[in-house]
Amino acid sequence: MKVAAIQMVSTGILSENLSQAGALLEQAARDGAELAVLPEYFCLIGQHDADKLAIQEPFGSGPIQQFLADTARTLGLWLVGGTLPLSASRADRVYNSSLVFNPKGDCVARYDKIHLFRFDNGTEAYDESRVLDRGEHPTRFSLPSKDGHLWQIGLSVCYDLRFAELYRIYAREGVDLILVPSAFTHTTGQAHWEILLRARAIENLTFVAAAAQGGMHPNGRRTWGQSLLIDPWGEVLAQRAQEPGVVCAELSAASLVQRRSQLPALQHRVLSS
């Protein structure tokens, strides 16, 4: 199955971001991708965290969700809308949600980011809990690829990457591919991004596709980028350092079976929690 990780440098203008995403998804479709993954906050990185409240949508309707559904249907893609703000029970909070659309344009899965990022090094400071409500449940979906393999795919977002227990749940459920749409800061990305992604692939013997924000945004925020596709042995199949673009690679179900047969570590686990 050919997978595309879409790298963007989103702005504070929704229409600009949807246009940029649409053009990159068209490129991914031309490259033969069956599954395309947009980055976290593909639709908006505003001047302030609270800006996302203004574009929030109820689950099931709204211009961002319509864009994702229409694009998936038009291009014949499985499409993961990295994240978008979906309405929560409180007016001053939203969920940071990843939605999956099949090639018919139907939404088949929703994952709300579980782990909320908080960081302060004296220069940079972020606290997502000021605007976001956290999700509670891991989510996976099934994708029947053109080669006949039924891929089991686990959803996660950005800061989730630091919490290995989430991915172990997916490993127990037989997941073949983990998605990690992200907007890592330049500081934390430079230190830990690739290391953590490769570790999640290796320890769970899964493919990993990480679509990232990558560059300097109009609000002055700098994201790390380096969108990656990684195989179950921890080898990087494709990557892009910075700026918008499409990162594509073929993921082989046969190689997944081979690696798990050579090193059946998932069967050797002793501790169950």
Going by C-beta distance under 8 Å and a sequence separation of 6 or more, which residues neighbour residue 256? 176, 205, 206, 207, 232
Out of 34, 52, 113, 248, the active site residue is 113
- β-pairing, 125-127 vs 132-133, is unpaired
Cα–Cα nearest to 253, from 145, 156, 172, 168 = 145
CA atoms of 270 and 3, how far apart (whole Å):
33
Out of 40, 43, 57, 248, the active site residue is 40
* 46, two tokens: 């505003």
Out of 43, 52, 57, 158, the active site residue is 158
Q: Kind and range of the H or E element at 259?
A: helix 253-262
The reply to whether 43 belongs to the active site is no
With contact defined as beta carbons under 8 Å apart, do 259 and 235 qualify?
Answer: no
CA atoms of 16 and 43, how far apart (whole Å):
9
* 66, two tokens: 């319509």
The reply to whether 113 belongs to the active site is yes
With contact defined as beta carbons under 8 Å apart, do 154 and 141 qualify?
Answer: no
Q: Could you give the C-alpha distances from 80 to 51, 71, 191, in angstroms and in order?
A: 22, 11, 27
The reply to whether 40 belongs to the active site is yes
Residues that are catalytic? 40, 113, 158
